[in-house]
Amino acid sequence: MKPTTIKILYWIFTVLFSLAMFGDAFGGITKQEPGIVVLKHLGYPVYNLPLFGVAKLLGAIAILQARFRTIKEWAYAGFTINFISAIASRAIVGDALQLLIPPVIMLVFMFISYFLWKKYQEIKRD
């Protein structure tokens, strides 16, 4: 793949992922009803919702920035833990398979973004 193609695909996946995380962060920070319902269903305290929202907001900002690579790595790691935990939580409470699909899709988008970022970093060094 050409460096330009890698860079374009990286930004497409990263922006789409970050937009989804900004939306989820807004819902958490403002304590939207769907988030409250999900947390109660999964057995988590509702007071965690704004905390999760702020973490997602900061993580999305960290992924979009290009200066602090270690912070970006940690943001990707944090989102990985978040989505694996979401999948596990939904599976443990016995949710239907279709409710496990959204966090899996977001995890895939995030991994594609991460892979393309690493690939582009490699090409820039050469």
pTM > 0.75: yes
pLDDT digits (tens, 9 = 90+) for 33-87: 999 999 999 999 999 999 999 999 999 999 999 999 999 999 999 999 999 999 9
Six token digits for residue 48: 């965690």
What phi-psi label fits residue 45: left (phi over 0), alpha (psi between -120 and 50 degrees) or beta?
beta
Largest Cα–Cα distance of the chain, in whole Å?
A: 50
CB 27 within 8 Å of CB 35 = yes
Six token digits for residue 103: 């966090």
pLDDT of amino acid 123: 86
pLDDT at 96 over 80: yes
Mean pLDDT of 108-121: 96
pLDDT digits (tens, 9 = 90+) for 98-111: 999 999 999 999 99
User: Which residue range is the domain that position 94 belongs to?
Assistant: 3-125
Question: CA 50 → CA 4, 55, 100, distances in Å?
Answer: 38, 9, 22
Number of domains in the chain: 1
